[in-house]
Amino acid sequence: LLSLLVSVLLASFAMRPILRSNKAQKAFVENASHELRTPLAVIQSKLELLFQKPDASILESSDEIGESLAEIRRLRNLATDLLRLTREEQTLEVVRAPFKIYPLFQTLSEDFQMVAVTERKHFAFQFEGDVEADYIGDKEKIQQITVILLENAMKYTSETESIGLKVSLGKELEITVTDTGIGIPKEMREVIFQRFIRLDDSRNLTQGFGLGLSILSQLLEAMGGKVEVRENAPKGSQFVVRI
Ligand code: ADP
């Protein structure tokens, strides 16, 4: 009886991680389906409306067509994020190849400078270290991480506000993305890295899915990096990545 008890106990111990990952998988599928359902319902109702007025011109139906297209764009973004998430889960090998770090960030900052100008925001880039230095690491993953943070900084700032990218290359590579936007309450600074988590304030601003930062966590975990979220003075957020 005792050995039976011990084996049941051991089995339940062994099963725990499997059950946990099953639960996480179930929650993920539920969340993803929920996110898919809303745009699909909108597209369906808009197309049904079009059917009700078969003689209307495209111009007369432009509202329905425009809204359907916007929802299709949302679905495409969601599909891209989901693909990125699962692809990263499967291929977590990290490439270690030498590349010049400065031109990578210089090009990225030129791209975001252009976005900032069109959105009437300020963008600043600062680099500390040797601009000729080679870095050995995964160029693509480092670029993805920076893009996720810069896109968020752009999303959660309004006109005339500022976004900053600072890169320091010393013993470690440190990437700091700063914004003067809506900020993140202290108690939420950990949960935002979970899948499908969006804070209430941001829901009104943009139509993300809450997947960007969980993709970032996966990439960083693979590379053995860390991310820290801080408050930016006088307002906004600061994300510091160390690899
Ligand atoms: P998404 O931006 O698509 O919603 P993310 O996973 O990138 O997904 O971010 C999760 C949530 O964290 C966002 O919905 C937002 O509430 C919050 N967040 C992320 N970056 C910022 C930022 N720079 N400023 C304010 N809030 C942010």
pLDDT along the chain (243 residues), means of 10: 87 77 74 82 91 91 91 87 74 86 95 94 96 93 94 94 96 96 94 88 72 90 94 94 97
Is residue 137 within 6 Å of ligand 1 at its C-beta?
no
Report the pLDDT value the prediction gives residue 213, as an integer from 0 to 100.
93
Q: Structure tokens of 116?
A: 């900032």
Is residue 182 within 6 Å of ligand 1 at its C-beta?
yes
Report the pLDDT value the prediction gives residue 203, as an integer from 0 to 100.
66
Distance 213 CA to ligand 1 centre (A): 7
Cβ partners under 8 Å of residue 157, min gap 6: 121, 163, 179, 180, 181, 182, 236
Q: Of 145, 152, 106, 104, which is closest to residue 125 (Cα–Cα)?
A: 106
Whole-prediction pTM value? 0.80
Is residue 153 within 6 Å of ligand 1 at its C-beta?
yes
Report the pLDDT value the prediction gives residue 8, as an integer from 0 to 100.
84
Query: Which amino acid is located at 235 in the chain?
Result: K
Report the pLDDT value the prediction gives residue 204, as an integer from 0 to 100.
65
Is residue 78 within 6 Å of ligand 1 at its C-beta?
no
Report the pLDDT value the prediction gives residue 90, as an integer from 0 to 100.
63
The residue whose C-alpha atom lies closest to atom 12 belonging to ligand 1 is 192
The residue whose C-alpha atom lies closest to atom 14 belonging to ligand 1 is 198
Report the pLDDT value the prediction gives residue 11, as an integer from 0 to 100.
83
The residue whose C-alpha atom lies closest to atom 21 belonging to ligand 1 is 152
Cβ partners under 8 Å of residue 91, min gap 6: none
Mutate to test the pocket of ligand 1, among 213, 232, 239 (most ligand atoms within 8 A of CB): 213
pLDDT > 70 in the chain, percent:
95
